[in-house]
Amino acid sequence: MTASNQLSSPPAWRNWAGNQKFVPGETAKPRTEDEAIAILARTLQQGRPVRAAGAGHSFTPIVETSGLLLDLDGLQGVLSVDQARKRVTALAQTRIHAFGDALWQHGLALANQGDIDTQAIAGAIATGTHGSGVGLRSFSASLTGARLVDGLGAVRDIALEAEPDTLHALQTSIGMLGIMTRVTITVSPAYFLHEQIVILHIDDVLARWDDLRTRYRHFSFFWMPSDESADLYGLHNAGKDFCMVKLYNEVPDGFSPAAPGERADRSYRIYPQVFEPNFHEMEYFMPDSSGRQVFAEMRQLMLKSLPDSKYPMEVRFVAADEGWLSPNYRRASIVVSVSGTPGTDYWSYLRACDAVFRQFDGRPHWGKLHFITPERLEGLFPRYDDFKRVRRKFDPQGLFLNPHLAALFK
Ligand SMILES: Cc1cc2nc3c(=O)[nH]c(=O)nc-3n(C[C@H](O)[C@H](O)[C@H](O)COP(=O)(O)OP(=O)(O)OC[C@H]3O[C@@H](n4cnc5c(N)ncnc54)[C@H](O)[C@@H]3O)c2cc1C
């Protein structure tokens, strides 16, 4: 890149997992929001395709473009905090971890977080990134406003109160309505968490299923199909049919855990976990009410699929929301993820998992591998046609679509 705001000859882009690679037509790295808007307006008014990269942690080809790939790393930082309404406005590429200290000094915190905190806030919102907790919603659902540049190159400020339908279309829109330069999200009062990580046999987890779901703010678990699965995650005291169970509850400041190995700290210091192995992940959301049945079917399938089903199955819970393309649209979910082993042909195993999820009307995580077709989308997302109508209004030339997205949403 010659100057940071000049279009330049493109290097290849690859995602964190290394399963998505492409060479964009051109790249740009604006240093400010105004520069980003100017580059976007110019490019889109000339009818050239554009996509933005977040932190590259999606497994699906949703960043790919043959046109301009925007690196928004210059657009980071919390811009304003509305303590009374518990709303925070931040530049689009602000990393999840950057909200921790910045919000805490105002007595606020992100309401929930997932397993890692390296994603950009706009990337996390674009795909419905979530943590776990029956009462807790995804990052997308926290979106109450955004500034974006639409497919005609026009800047739009969208707010929940003024345009609720548009906002709900935008909440989980995989970058198809425009490039967001800033987002406003709802947050929580600051809170401390007590973390307990316990190894339980699956029979114990099943016996305590309802209690664990409701007694803890966060309940999630990794179920191990084999001893090797436990070893992959460094859980040498676990083994086949055991689960690593994560339990968090809110505690007062100064709380000191009684048992060795437990932690209590500010919320944002508890959530992130260290991921050692690479993996290629698939994740679907099923009705929470069918949780035990989904788990039972998946357990049988994974035992049958060994050694291909080497990675543990992660099980989480997410509350319902209003996002039109959200996998939690008006449906509380049990969320199940499985992974293929990089370097192997894992597609028939993942396809068999997809067949189980399909029986339970599974909706995909847009950032993780899936087998969804337009025919399936119609039945799974009641606002699918409405979304496509808004998409066409915001981007009549389809400049934010790439082949993967065009196949599903044109
Ligand atoms: C190790 C690991 C752990 C993970 N843990 C979780 C988890 O706990 N929970 C969970 O739900 N998911 C998880 N994920 C998936 C991940 O959170 C999502 O795929 C998320 O989208 C990644 O965010 P990102 O910033 O990397 O965005 P990217 O993957 O770079 O981009 C995601 C999408 O957002 C679009 N986009 C980015 N910026 C903008 C913008 N400014 N305007 C418009 N569109 C934009 C991109 O074009 C793309 O379509 C995990 C992934 C990995 C690799």
Do 298 and 211 belong to one domain? Answer: yes
Q: pTM above 0.85?
A: yes
Do 267 and 214 belong to one domain? Answer: yes
DSSP states of 143-181 as a string?
EEEEEEE-TTS-EEEEETTT-HHHHHHHTT-TT-S-EEE
Does any ligand 1 atom lie closer than 6 A to the CB of residue 49? no
CA dist 54 and 164 (Å) reads: 25
Express each pLDDT in 282-295 by its tens digit.
Answer: 999 999 999 999 99
CA dist 295 and 279 (Å) reads: 21
CB-based contact 355:307 (threshold 8 Å)? no
Does any ligand 1 atom lie closer than 6 A to the CB of residue 120? yes
CA dist 141 and 335 (Å) reads: 16
Q: Which two tokens stand for residue 104?
A: 């805490």
Q: Give 266's strand partners.
A: 192
Express each pLDDT in 255-308 by its tens digit.
Answer: 999 888 899 999 999 999 876 678 999 999 999 999 999 999 999 999 999 999
Torsion, CA 351, CA 355, CA 361, CA 363, rounded to 10: -10
DSSP states of 189-210 as a string?
E--EEEEEEEEEEHHHHHHTHH
Parallel/antiparallel/unpaired status of strands 242-251 and 313-318: unpaired
DSSP states of 350-409 as a string?
HHHHHHHHHHTT-EE-TTSB----HHHHHHH-TTHHHHHHHHHHH-TT-TT--HHHHHHH
**Total structural domains in the chain?**
3
Confidence of residue 9 (pLDDT cuts 50, 70, 90): low
Do 66 and 89 belong to one domain? Answer: no
Do 200 and 178 belong to one domain? Answer: no
The secondary structure of residue 290, as a DSSP letter, is: G
Does any ligand 1 atom lie closer than 6 A to the CB of residue 177? no
| pLDDT at site 1 | 36
Express each pLDDT in 56-100 by its tens digit.
Answer: 999 999 999 999 999 999 999 999 999 999 999 999 999 999 999
Residue range of the domain that includes 149: 82-189
Confidence of residue 364 (pLDDT cuts 50, 70, 90): very high
Confidence of residue 6 (pLDDT cuts 50, 70, 90): low
CB-based contact 405:62 (threshold 8 Å)? yes
Q: Which two tokens stand for residue 177?
A: 């309505």
**Protein residue closest via CA to atom 12 of ligand 1:** 129
> Is the predicted pLDDT of residue 2 greater than 50, yes or no?
no
Does any ligand 1 atom lie closer than 6 A to the CB of residue 29? no
CA dist 233 and 223 (Å) reads: 11
Here the CATH number for the domain that contains residue 109 is: 3.30.465.10
Do 101 and 43 belong to one domain? Answer: no
Do 66 and 97 belong to one domain? Answer: no
Do 243 and 289 belong to one domain? Answer: yes
Report CA(126)–ligand 1 centroid distance (Å): 7
Which of 119, 182, 220 has the most ligand 1 atoms within 8 A of CB, as the residue to mutate?
119
Q: Which two tokens stand for residue 375?
A: 């025919």
Report CA(120)–ligand 1 centroid distance (Å): 7
| pLDDT at site 4 | 47
Do 27 and 86 belong to one domain? Answer: no
